[in-house]
Every structure is written in structure tokens, then in C-alpha cells.
Amino acid sequence: MSETLTATTVIDPIDRDVALESATPIVIVGHVDHGKSTLIGRLLYDTDNLEEGKVAQIIESSKKRGLTIEWSFLLDSLQIERDQGVTVDSTRIPFRLGNRQFVIVDAPGHRQFLRNMITGAADADAAVLVVDANEGAQEQTRRHAMLLRLIGIRHIIVLLNKVDLLNFDEQKVRAVEQSVTSLLAQLDLTPSLFIPASARDGDNIASRSERSPWYKGPILTEALAEVPDGNIRATLPFRLPVQDVYRFDDKRYVVGRIERGVVRVGDELSIGSQNGTARVASIERWSAPVRDEAAAGESVALVLEPDVIPARGDFLYSPHQAPEKSARIRANLFWLRQEPLRAGETFRLRLATAEHQVTVASIDSVLRLDDLTEQQADEVGPEGFAEITLVAGEAIQFDPFSPGTSDGRGVLVDRNQRIVGGAPLLGPATVAAGSHAIHPSGGEVSTGERARGKGHKACVIWLTGLSGAGKSTIARLAERKLYSDGIDAYVLDGDTLRMGLCSDLGFTEADRHENVRRAAEVAKILAQTGQVVLVALISPLRADRALARKIIGEEFEEVFIDTSLATCEERDSKGLYRAAREGKIENFTGISAPYEAPEKPDLHIAADKGDAGQNATKLTDYILSKVR
């Protein structure tokens, strides 16, 4: 049967105007097994927000499993995932409390939790943080609290669940309350309220518990009914990020959604990218009453006088209340990509309708979840939180993010157009004394466009193996085959690099490391032009290849040309092994310097087993499967 998430309850006709009010989104978060699902089930049941027959079903399935009533079965039965035993995404459950509409956002499960939770919760007005009173705050309690802080949810109700396990003992409950309070204080969060409750038994959810006579505060439903409308946007200085400009019937319309403030016909507005101002000649609407003003939240079409043409992403604002403008911006960050973030990576920063090329100039601190302290670190791990500095080639206009607003927060998008992080902006960054302010400017043409133009994707094929293993030979043969196949392939050969770019380098470990770094940087640039780059470089150390992978990013493919030392030495096409054996060459890989074979190369070619042509075919096939 289809599951309808609509929890429709009977509404008196008198309530019709009330029902027209918008729904308040409430996100429910908390550590696994602290009772989120049970709470939601209980809440829906106690407030008569369940479809008929649902309760009987739950009692039935609970009985089957020898349980009294397992409320979480209700939510599980709402999830299409239940059959497959996987939880894939957040769900929104409409729910009504007296005269007020809510939407409960539930992001169950652990897999890519942050990604799913942020998708549902980013616009919530308030949160219920469920904490098992018996266990206290746990890792996910801290993680979720941090996310609430970053997305600007300031109204937090802490539900201390399972207080029946503490026998509703006031002193014990107060002690947990104290420890959660100090934890949240570390994140600069002040909970609006602590409610001692048992979601399973319904204590202090929708009815006041007799088991906690000492608790005089609001129960959960009362607390929800008092969640304030956090919308202060209309009272702030006017901001309209231009979404588009239309020209219909000889009339030009500047369209977009007002993020802050109010605009009236006759107002003078500054235009982000242009000097000078324009006047609002009219606010155009179709099939709607004429009004001479519009406020935050409205999607409008303005006619300006004179008829200037702003660009998408331009800010329209009141001339005396300009936003910040800086090419260096400090930002908070929550990181969604599986691979860690490192300084030096370049992204598109999407900020309202604007898009800017930015580079992560520095990772200023990373939050350690264990104790919520800010640490120095080189990278931000998956689902990590950090403070970073972004630099752009041009000055960016922005407003720092603050709770209750909907702008001043950007997303970072990678070259494949994937959203990899959320970045509420903190403010302009100053350049630290002694450091060079670098403002890299990236290309206007995206990877996707280049790939479309070339008819294939770019990548860097990193061939590692002993000297004489056949790396260059295989690479050259593959280059020829690929090129004949319409693939723009190019070989970066270790020896060739050492003739020019790396001619200042020797063979010490430090110089080899630098050699790898330069090769990787060059390969990265070539890949950015859309080419398939084959790098033939001994690159004996795992750490060096890891560095190359880090520099190049996800286009990096490690290929192990696995030829035995015996074969290489027997071939000795360049006479190097003999010289090394005779002690004429120091630090020779395989003889007097280590070769660390890749543990899990993306492709392993057992080169002894085939001739160069067969090995090249293997490589070519692999590359074609990656770039086509």
C-alpha cells in the first residue's frame, strides 16, 4: 500500500484562517538510540496526528515481538527504506498542534547523515535535541549541536529522555542538565528549555507527568506551541540578489527574491557591479493586486530607471547600507565530501545567486568533536567542521551570516558541480603579517564544458614502478593508441621533466619529493585543460604518491607497472643498474633506495606477463573506461 505522510486531522471551519499560516519546521536530532523515533511516534499519537488504523498496527507488531508498545515502528513504517533495511534520506512529517502547523524533519540513520540532515534541516526554525538522561551527551549529540549552531538554529529544546531510568530523580536529572548545558555553552548555544521526559511512556510529551512533580516548566507540546517566529529578515537593510534579467515586449525586468528588508517604488538602489544607482520605477506582478512595496521572502520583478542591466548575482541594496566587500573571507564550514579538504583547493562559492571562484587559502581551525575544542589541522575530514579563509580573484559583496537570515551563507561546489560543503560567512579576513596574499583566479570554462568539447573527461594516470619497468614505453604506446582514438593524451616523462623543470633537483629523498610535487602540479594543470595525462615517474615512496593524489584530486589514477627487479636489472636498458651495483650511482631505487609498491593501485599491470604492446592495450582499455 502507498504510505501517505499526510497526517490530516479534523479542522473546524473556524480554524481555516489559522490553517493558512505557514508550517513551522522543527528538526529532531540526537544520538542514535536516544529515542528520536520513539519521540516522534509518541508525539504524533498523543496529539492525534495519526491516520486511523496506524495505532492498532503498531500495537500488533509490538505484541508480535513481545514488546509493550514500540512507537518507533510508526516511523519505520513510514519509511520506504524499511524493506531494504537501509535508511536513505530525511523525511518531513506534517503535524498539527492546536492552531499551529509544524513540519517535523527527521533525518534517520548514519550513512551520510550530515548530508541528509542538512537537506532537511537547513531552514528549520527550532530543534528538539534528544538526550538520553541515563547516558548523557554522546558523539552525535555534539555533532548535531554543532550543526545546529552553524545553520543558525538558536531555539533549542533539550528533551532529556528516558528519565524513568533515573526514577525521575530531580537531582540526577539536574546533574545531566548541567553537563549538557556546559557542553552547549562551549558551542555558544543556550538551550531555551530542558524537559525531563519519557517518550516511551508519554511523560511530559503531550501530558504532564505525575512522576516528575518537581518539574514546573512547559511540557513538549507547550514548548513547541511557543516556538517564536524567528523571521527578522524584513527589518534588516534591503538586499536583493539579482536572479535574472528578462526583456519582454520592450520592457526590462530585474527579477529575484528579496533576502532582507523592504523595497518601495521610488527607492534609490545601488547595483553591486556598477557604479551609480537606479530608481525603482515599478514593482511588476501578474494577476495580482498592485502594491507599491515588497518585503523579504517575496519573489519580485522590478523595472529600474534608468534602464540599467545588472548581472545575475549582483546585489541591489540601499546606497547607505552597503554589504561587506572583500576578496578574503573567513567562513565556517561543514564538509560533506568523503575525501578530506586541504588548503589550496579551488571551488565555486555559490552565494545566493552569485557564483565566485574561490581558493581555500587556509584551514584556520578544525573542531575536535571529542571535547569541542578548536584545533590546528591540515585537513578537514568527512562530516567535519572547521573555520577557513577563502580568497577570490575579485572582491565579493556579502553579508555575514546571522541566525534568522537566509543569506550570507554559501555552498562550495567542486568542478563536477557537486555541493561539497556549506559555508556560513563570518566576515572579511585580514591578511596576516608576513604572509603573501595570493589571489588565484580560476578559469571561466568548467570541467564539464571542456569534457563536452573534447568528448572525454580528463584524468591523470600515474604510472609508478622500478626504473626500467617499462613505464615510459607503455605510456608512449598508450598515448599513440588513445590519440588515434580521439583522446587528447599526453605523456609527462620523469627523465624529460628532469631535463628542464626539475633540472635543479638531485636524487636525495627531499629532491625526489620535490620532483614528484612538481610533476603532480604540472599534471594537474594539464588535466585542467581537459587532457588525459600519463605521468611516467618511478615515484618510489607511498608518501610521495599520496602527495600527488592530494594535489591532483579525484582525477588521480594510480597504475602500478609491476616488473620484477630481476627483469629490470636484466634489461638495464639505460645501464643504470650496473652503475648502481658498481656504486657509481647513489640512492638508486631498488638497489640502494627503497621502492614501496602500491598497496591498492587503481590498476595493476603485471608487466612481466605480457609484452609492451599487450600491457599498453590493458592500460588503454582502462583509461577509455574512465574517460569515455
Q: Show binding-site residues.
A: 465-472
Scanning residues 472 to 531, which ones bind other proteins (CB under 8 A)?
none
Minimum Å gap between C-beta 201 and other proteins is: 27
Residue 17, exposed/middle/buried by CB under 10 A (0-12, 13-18, 19+)? exposed
- Least Å distance between CB 414 and other proteins? 9
- Sign, CA torsion 608/614/618/623: positive
Number of amino acids touching other proteins (CB under 8 A): 71
In whole angstroms, give the CA distance from residue 469 to residue 607: 8
Span from 203-211, 382-390, 404-412, 559-567 in contact with other proteins (CB under 8 A): 404-412
> Which residue among 193, 311, 419, 547 contacts other proteins (CB under 8 A)?
419
Tell the residue number behind the cell numbers 512507537, with chain if given: 71
346: DSSP letter: E
- In angstroms, the Cα distances linking 427 to 250, 379, 399 are 41, 22, 8
Minimum gap (Å) between residue 383 Cβ and other proteins = 12
CB of 326 to other proteins, least distance (A): 21
- In the sheet with 100-106, reading across from the earlier edge strand, the strands are 91-97, 100-106, 24-30, 126-132, 155-161, 193-196
Contacts of 285 (CB under 8 A, 6+ apart): 291, 301
By C-beta, is 584 or 628 nearer to other proteins?
A: 628
Q: Please list every residue from 113 through 132 that binds other proteins, using CB under 8 A.
A: 115-116, 118-119, 122-123
How far apart CA 262 and CA 199 sit, in angstroms, is 43
Nearer to other proteins, 13 or 575 (CB): 13
C-alpha span between 182 and 163 (Å, rounded): 20
**Looking at 539, 573, 592, 625, which residue is catalytic?**
539
Q: Which is nearer to other proteins, 406 or 567 (CB)?
A: 406
Least separation, in Å, of the C-beta of 120 and other proteins? Answer: 8
Binding mask 78-107 for other proteins (x = CB under 8 A): xxx--x--x-xxxxx-x------x------
Among 63, 264, 291, 418, binds other proteins (CB under 8 A): 418
Residues 194-253 that bind other proteins (CB under 8 A): 243-244, 246, 248, 253
Among positions 296-335, residues that touch other proteins (CB under 8 A) are 297-299, 301, 312
Instruction: Out of 99, 182, 338, 416, point to the residue binding other proteins (CB under 8 A).
Output: 416
Reply yes or no on whether 539 is catalytic: yes
Query: Shortest distance, CB of residue 277 to other proteins, whole angstroms?
Result: 24
Q: What is d(CA 483, CA 532) in angstroms, rounded to the nearest whole number?
A: 10
Q: Which is nearer to other proteins, 25 or 468 (CB)?
A: 25
CA 289 to chain centre: 41
Q: Which of 143, 330, 409, 524 binds other proteins (CB under 8 A)?
A: 409
Q: What DSSP element (H or E) covers 132?
A: strand 126-132
Interaction with other proteins in 448-467: which residues (CB under 8 A)? 448, 451-452
**Residue ranges in 141-180 that form contacts with other proteins under rule CB under 8 A:** none
Tell me how far, at minimum, the Cβ of 367 lies from other proteins, in Å.
Answer: 20
Sites for other proteins among residues 17-36 (CB under 8 A)? 19-23
Order of strands across the sheet that contains 489-493: 489-493, 532-536, 459-464, 556-562, 603-606
Backbone angles phi, psi at 22, to 5 degrees: -75, 160
- In the shown chain, the binding pattern of residues 351 to 380 toward other proteins, with x for contact by CB under 8 A and - for none, equals -x----------------------------
E-assigned strands of 336-418? 341-342, 346-351, 354-368, 373-375, 379-380, 385-398, 409-413
Closer to other proteins by Cβ: residue 297 or 440: 297
Q: For residues 258-297, which are near other proteins according to CB under 8 A?
A: 284-288, 295, 297
Helix axes 612-627, 471-484, angle to 10 degrees: 50
Q: Return the residue of 138, 140, 277, 406 that touches other proteins, per CB under 8 A.
A: 406
Site residues (CB under 8 A) for other proteins, limited to 429-448: 447-448
**Binding-site entries for ATP:** 465-472
| Cβ proximity to other proteins, 161 vs 346, nearer residue | 346
Query: How far apart, in whole angstroms, are the C-alpha atoms of residue 119 and residue 121?
Result: 6
* Nearer Cβ to other proteins (388/541): 388
What backbone phi and psi angles, to 5 degrees, belong to 106?
A: -120, 120
How big is the CA angle at 484 (ends 482 and 486), to the nearest 5 degrees? 75
**Smallest separation (angstroms) from other proteins to the CB of 287:** 7
Closest listed residue to residue 531, CA positions, set 504, 500, 492: 492
Could you tell me the smallest distance in angstroms from the CB atom of residue 99 to other proteins? 13
Listed ranges 112-120, 160-168, 184-192, 216-224: which one lies at the site for other proteins (CB under 8 A): 112-120
Cα separation, 461 vs 519, in Å, equals 12
Nearest approach in angstroms of CB 46 to other proteins is: 18
**Which of 274, 299 has the CB closer to other proteins?**
299
Strands 244-248 and 239-241: unpaired
Residues 6+ apart with CB under 8 A from 497: 515, 518, 519, 522, 537
DSSP state of 208: -
CA distance 554 to 539: 19
Among 52, 188, 370, 611, indicate the residue that binds other proteins (CB under 8 A): 52
Query: From residue 590, how far is each of 13, 481, 596, 597 by CA, in Å?
Result: 85, 31, 9, 11
Q: Which is nearer to other proteins, 1 or 438 (CB)?
A: 1
Max Cα separation, the chain?
99
CA distance 239 to 462: 49
Which of residues 93 and 128 has its CB atom nearest to other proteins in the complex? 93
Asked if omega into 306 is within 30° of 0 (cis), the reply is yes
Catalytic residues: 539
